[in-house]
């Protein structure tokens, strides 16, 4: 019944989603990706089969994503795992579109395409990484809630949490959003959250067993020495990587249009204002987590749809602004203004500043993927990236 509901969910035709599909497909032939985490995930499955011993790819464990990747990889290698990423990405985009329509946000398709064509989302949707898996299961759960299927929603939410543990906070805040919007009752939200927690606990038993039940050990990210994390350096990384995530043109554009909107004193009715507050809570929660560990801008992907909901509400019926935003996001895949360079790559304690043009994240990541396109294990990846 659960899987038949997924099939029903995917049968809904939204032809504009063919745009990201056609753009994504050429990238599935570029190997597993340019991140060592992809190869760590492959090693987890290989080690388990050889030794019947579960070793997480990373803390705190990504069991659902690791299991899916293992079996899909057996079927068709990197092409199959990348296709699975596209599949989960489309579930996410479809669920986000349904949510926008339910919240009566106009021009929802532009918001969905702004997610789909965002450089970090584009890369995540075409590589063997867990980001879109967590987001896909999250929005699958949201779509079930929109259809009043609380039990299925709870199962989907648990799978999202099993892909990335921090998704549990997003599940909680999304349920608050639904209660505020009067989409579900408090009882329905409680049922979904309880089911999600029960299954999620099961997904984290193997990682806990791996650390001998010393649960605090799985929550410690690998961040290097304390010399890189003074308050100034942490704040600098936080601000820099937020700007990199959105790109300089997008940040400047949003700043200008929002300031202009505030000067006009636009009135936002009560219910929409509540939606802005809840979505802003989601934004602040994950920005807070990112301030604690400002490592990879991709960590911010989870706030992307909810940030765009705020933008969609602020600029209801202002299609030109949303089209301009979408255009800037699309262009940033290929070329962006650079403004800072670290003194030591990945180990910066300082930077040089200026203004120049540099390749966008999609172009830069594609170059890196080409270097390791034929790698099927971590040793190959490390040899090719370190030499």
The residue among 242 and 12 whose pLDDT is bigger is: 242
Q: Which of 279, 276, 329, 268 minimizes the C-alpha distance to 303?
A: 279
Tens of pLDDT, residue by residue over 311-364, are 999 888 889 999 999 999 999 999 999 888 887 776 777 788 888 899 999 999
Q: What does the buried/exposed string (b/e) look like for 247-260 if buried means 16 or more CB atoms within 10 Å of the residue's CB?
A: bbbbeebbeebeee
Residue the block writes with tokens 């939200």: 189
CA distance 75 to 254: 44
Tens of pLDDT, residue by residue over 155-214, are 999 999 999 988 999 999 989 988 888 888 888 899 999 999 999 999 988 888 777 777
Tens of pLDDT, residue by residue over 37-82, are 999 998 887 787 777 778 888 888 888 999 999 999 999 999 999 9
CA distance 82 to 85: 5
Q: What is the CA radius of gyration of the chain?
A: 21
Domain ranges, residue 259: 2-386
In this prediction, residues 142-155 reach a mean pLDDT of 92
In this prediction, residues 147-154 reach a mean pLDDT of 92
Domain count across the chain? 1
Whether 387 has a pLDDT exceeding 80, the answer reads no
**pLDDT value, residue 61:** 82
When pLDDT is cut at 50, 70 and 90, the band that residue 259 belongs to is confident
Residue the block writes with tokens 């172009």: 363
Report pTM.
Answer: 0.92
Q: What is the 3-state secondary structure (H, E, C) of the chain?
A: CHHHHHHHHHHCCCHHHHHHHHHHHHHHHCCCCCCHHHHHHHHHHHHHHHHCCCCCCCCCCCHHHHHHHHHHHHHHHHHHHHHHHHHHHHHHHHHHHHHHHHCCCCCHHHHHHHHHCCHHHHHHCCCCCCHHHHHHHHHHHHHHHHCCCHHHHHHHHHHHHHHCCCHHHHHHHHHHHHHHCCCCCHHHHHHHHHHHHHHHHHHCHHHHHHCCCCHHHHHCCCCCCHHHCCHHHHHHHHHHHHHHHHCHHHHHHHHHHHHHHHHCCCCCCHHHHHHHHHHHHHHHHHHHHHHHCCCCHHHHHHHHHHHHHHHHHHCCCCHHHHHHHHHHHHHCCCEEEEEEEECCCCCCCCEEEEEEEEECHHHHHHHHHHHCCCCCCHHHHHHHHHC
């Amino acid at each position: 019944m659960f899987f038949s509901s997924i099939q029903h969910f995917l049968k809904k035709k939204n032809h504009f989603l063919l745009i990201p599909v056609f753009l994504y497909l050429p990238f599935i032939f570029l190997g597993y990706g340019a991140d060592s985490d992809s190869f760590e995930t492959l090693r987890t499955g290989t080690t388990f089969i050889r030794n019947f011993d579960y070793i997480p790819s990373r803390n705190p464990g990504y069991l659902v994503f690791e299991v899916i990747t293992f079996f899909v990889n057996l079927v068709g290698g990197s092409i199959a795992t990348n296709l699975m990423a596209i599949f989960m990405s489309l579930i996410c985009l479809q669920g986000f579109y349904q949510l926008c329509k339910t919240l009566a946000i106009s021009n929802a398709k532009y918001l969905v395409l702004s997610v789909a064509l965002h450089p970090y989302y584009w890369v995540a949707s075409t590589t063997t990484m867990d980001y879109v898996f967590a987001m896909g299961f999250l929005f699958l759960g949201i779509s079930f809630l929109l259809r009043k299927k609380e039990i299925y929603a709870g199962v989907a939410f648990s799978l999202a949490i099993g892909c990335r543990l921090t998704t549990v906070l997003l599940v909680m805040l999304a349920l608050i959003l639904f209660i505020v919007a009067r989409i579900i009752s408090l009882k329905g939200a409680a049922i979904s959250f309880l089911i999600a927690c029960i299954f999620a606990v099961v997904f984290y038993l193997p990682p806990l067993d791996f650390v001998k039940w010393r649960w605090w050990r799985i929550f410690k990210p690998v961040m290097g020495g304390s010399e890189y994390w003074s308050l100034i350096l942490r704040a600098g990384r936080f601000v820099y990587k937020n700007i990199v995530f959105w790109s300089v043109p997008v940040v400047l554009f949003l700043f200008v249009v929002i300031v202009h909107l505030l000067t006009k004193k636009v009135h936002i009715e009560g219910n929409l204002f509540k939606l802005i507050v809840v979505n802003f809570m989601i934004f602040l929660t994950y920005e807070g987590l990112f301030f604690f560990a400002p490592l990879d801008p991709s960590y911010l992907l989870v706030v992307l749809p909810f940030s765009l909901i705020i933008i969609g509400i602020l600029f209801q019926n202002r299609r030109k602004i949303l089209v301009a935003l979408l255009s800037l996001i699309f262009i940033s895949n290929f070329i962006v203004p650079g403004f800072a360079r670290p003194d030591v790559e990945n180990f910066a304690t300082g930077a040089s500043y200026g203004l120049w043009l540099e390749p966008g994240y999609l172009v830069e990541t594609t170059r890196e993927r080409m270097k390791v396109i034929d790698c099927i294990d971590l040793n190959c990846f490390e040899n090719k990236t370190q030499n």
